[in-house]
Amino acid sequence: MTSQTPLGHFLGALLLIGTSLFAQLALADHPALLSEEERAWIVENPIVVVGVRTNVAPLEYVENGQLKGLSAEYLKAVSRLTGLKFKTKEISDASTYQSKWLADGVVDMVALAARNIQPTSGASDSLFTAPYYVSATIIVTRARAPIMMDLGELDGRTVAVPRHSPYEAKFREVLPGAKFVSGDGAEGTLEMVATGRADAAIALDGFLSPVLSSRYNGLLQISGVISSVFAELSMSVSKNRPMLYSIIQKALQQITAEESYRMNEAWLEQARFGEPSLEVLVRHYGPQGLMLTGVFLLLGGLAYAWRREHLRAVRGEAEKAMFLAVMSHEIRSPMNAVLASVELLQRTPLDDVQQRLLGLACQGGESLLRLLNDVLDVSKLEAGKFVLEYEPADIVALVREVLDSLRKQAEEMGVELVFAVPDPIGFLMLDTSRTAQILQNLVSHAIGSTPRGSVTVKVTISPAEDSASGGVLRIEVSDTGSGIDGQGYFQSFLSNAPWRRSMRGRLGGAGLGLLLCRELISRMNGDIMVCSVPGAGTTVALSLPVRHVTENNGAAAQSEIPVRRPEVGHPVILLVEDTPANQFLIQAQLERLGCRFRMAANGEEAMQAFEQETYDLILLDCNLPDTDGYRLAQQFRVDEAKLGARRCAIIAISAITGSAHALRCLNAGMDGVLSKPIGLAKLQSTIESFCGVLLTESTDASNTRGCSAQAMDSGVALRLVQDDLRLLDAALAEADFARAKHHAHRVLGASMSLGLSALTGLAKGLEDLLEAGQDMDAEDVYQVLKDAKLELERLIAADKGFH
């Protein structure tokens, strides 16, 4: 062993010296506590062997080699006061062995001894200190059992007591009629009661209560007290160690009430013995468990039923959305063919009757497409998938475009369309497509409800009270129809049943478009009001909160049409566009409007043209072969600043949409955005607003190539698009993804300008797939490219059939 080696002797001596120094320091803190002889004894005997019992937890037990329990707390206090160090030695549970070990000198003292209950043999071998803890005997039963008013109630009952308890003889004296069984420790004794193997447990309060409160709280309860049996717990010292006895006795007498309370709290905090066994829980909480299980099963059943109905509703919504999407696609495809055919047919020589019939067919087809859009939008609103996309928009151009699209319908009804804009407005942040959709529905219904007369659209803007850059856009649609009987003002559009019935009688429908208007306006945080005077007509007033993008300083005030406008002018425009089909189309529109223009197909040509001449307006495509429109616009602004030249208005023209694109254009120094396809009315309004001129359409056929995709040579345009598809295919073969994406965007822009919806969708799909670059799905790309080629071949073949 280590102690028999020279190193062991050295370490033992070193430990003894350290312990002696510790004892001297502790005694220095309490010089009046001990006598000179007692202090000298401690220095000579710094380590005391303490006998501890291992099966009386929580009063005393060993855990991970350390003594714990109530006795351990008091030993710590004695050590702190005297400097003594205690070395523990585990002894048998039988109390007789404690006295024997003290008599034989195996241990110097015992930390936990019952002073008032000791066996006769060997009792004189021990010296007992004053008790540091007095504990009564308690009776523990199950929580639902009645309290014990009389000990006679335990006669004939099974009573559990701790094994080797020194109090068992006392218990048998006071309970002669009870049947006793033994349990292992406090846990084993209480477990017998909890599981029904015993009716009650009897032991010291300090022995059972910590385990009872931590593990069996709510299951077992203290039902009574046996006052005649109590324990005075003290420390016992061998009678051969009188000096040690005196030291321990004096140290215990120095412990204050506050220190004793803290030691008891620390002891109870350590006495955590976990949760009761499953058997105990089932036995005690069985009925409640069954009831709780029933409640959970009922709730689970209800949750399952709700979940099933919810999934059924979601599935129904998904199926409805799928049905509407499929219906939209299946109807749009033949409708597109019908409308394209009618438009091509209108270009052939026709008499007046044929032209009128074709016009009616075209008008009906467009109405059907609008109805499809309304149905899909209502479905999106109901599904919560509707998203507004704000972008800078010229509200004047937008209204004009809507009125131009409905002018033929108005002429056939004998209705005059009047547009009034008392003051300049400029560009506003709007969802252009939704705003146009609202206007389209309101004006269309106003035309339908006015057999003869006029429909006036008035647009004004007023500053918002809480925002310097914001305002309230007010659009009034007034007709001179018969008016509406009943209430004059309606805060909620279409919420008044009599008015709805009146409208249904006049319009022949339920007004799905008007219902959509109400929902769209609500999403835009706007208001709508209806005012009607019987016999005098109806006015629908729409108010929308808006934000200004840029002030239009060059535009003159506009008023009712026809009005006196600025003098007719011929602004000089720089058109920067690389797609041949779009070049052809926009040039034709500019020629029809009487504008002078210069064409540039890329950024380099645009810079040369900008440096050589002064322009009133620049129409700038954002996707060019050698640069992008954003950088080019910034360069234009830099050159203007260097030369001190007048600021030229720059308008972006692109197939790209969305608020991010619009804001990027504005940040690059542009003044507005025109999304393709660009209608003649929209282009005219934009030029007039930014150039401050009045444009008139040219009626000289020799000087005009047309103003729309139908007015130009469609065969030439389609062949130009076909060239771009071939170049796209070649770029893919060379793995030049940037060039492939460029040509895909050219195809997208051209197809949008030509009004080819199917080809537009395929081109947009190609552009999206090519965004991934090398990570793209090549199989999908080539499949979409193949579909685009087939669609283009079909269009070319259809065009040839009309020539």
Per-residue pLDDT reduced to its tens digit, 331-346: 665 665 566 567 667 6
DSSP conformation letters of 405-425:
HHHHHHHHHTEEEEEE--S--
Per-residue pLDDT reduced to its tens digit, 710-739: 444 566 777 778 888 888 888 888 888 878
User: Residue 33: is its pLDDT beyond 60?
Assistant: yes
> Which amino acid makes up residue 147?
I
Residue 5 CB contacts under 8 Å (≥ 6 apart), including other chains:
none
Query: What is the predicted pLDDT for the residue at 374?
Result: 67
Share of the chain above pLDDT 70, in %: 75
What's the predicted TM-score (pTM) here? 0.43
Per-residue pLDDT reduced to its tens digit, 535-586: 778 888 889 998 877 543 333 333 333 333 344 568 899 999 887 777 887 8
Distance (Å, whole) CA 239 – CA 323: 101
Given a contact cutoff of 8 angstroms between Cβ atoms, the answer to whether 707 and 592 are in contact is: yes
Per-residue pLDDT reduced to its tens digit, 745-755: 888 877 777 76
Query: What is the predicted pLDDT for the residue at 170?
Result: 87
Higher pLDDT, 522 or 40: 40
Per-residue pLDDT reduced to its tens digit, 770-801: 877 767 777 777 888 888 888 778 777 776 65
φ, ψ of residue 179 in degrees (nearest 5): -100, 125
What is the rounded average pLDDT of the residues 69-78? 92
Per-residue pLDDT reduced to its tens digit, 632-676: 999 999 998 888 888 898 998 877 766 677 778 888 888 888 877
How many other C-beta atoms lie within 10 A of the C-beta of residue 733? 9
Query: What is the predicted pLDDT for the residue at 75?
Result: 94
φ, ψ of residue 240 in degrees (nearest 5): -80, 0
Residue 196 CB contacts under 8 Å (≥ 6 apart), including other chains:
283
Per-residue pLDDT reduced to its tens digit, 265-295: 888 887 765 555 565 556 556 677 788 888 8
Give the domains, in start order, of the chain with CATH numbers. Answer: 2-276 (3.40.190.290), 389-431+444-564 (3.30.565.10)
pLDDT band for position 506 (50/70/90)?
very low
C-alpha dihedral (167, 169, 172, 174), degrees to nearest 10: -70
Query: What is the predicted pLDDT for the residue at 510?
Result: 36
Query: What is the predicted pLDDT for the residue at 632?
Result: 92
Distance (Å, whole) CA 594 – CA 706: 12
C-alpha 469, offset from chain centre: 31
Distance (Å, whole) CA 646 – CA 526: 39
3-class DSSP assignment, residue 142: strand
Query: What is the predicted pLDDT for the residue at 705?
Result: 39
Distance (Å, whole) CA 749 – CA 721: 10
User: Residue 218: is its pLDDT beyond 70?
Assistant: yes
Q: If 0-12 CB within 10 Å is exposed, 13-18 middle and 19+ buried, where does residue 738 land? A: exposed
User: Residue 401: is its pLDDT beyond 60?
Assistant: yes
Higher pLDDT, 344 or 8: 344
How many other C-beta atoms lie within 10 A of the C-beta of residue 1? 5
Per-residue pLDDT reduced to its tens digit, 409-436: 888 888 889 888 877 787 788 888 788 8
Q: If 0-12 CB within 10 Å is exposed, 13-18 middle and 19+ buried, where does residue 575 land? A: buried
User: Residue 123: is its pLDDT beyond 60?
Assistant: no
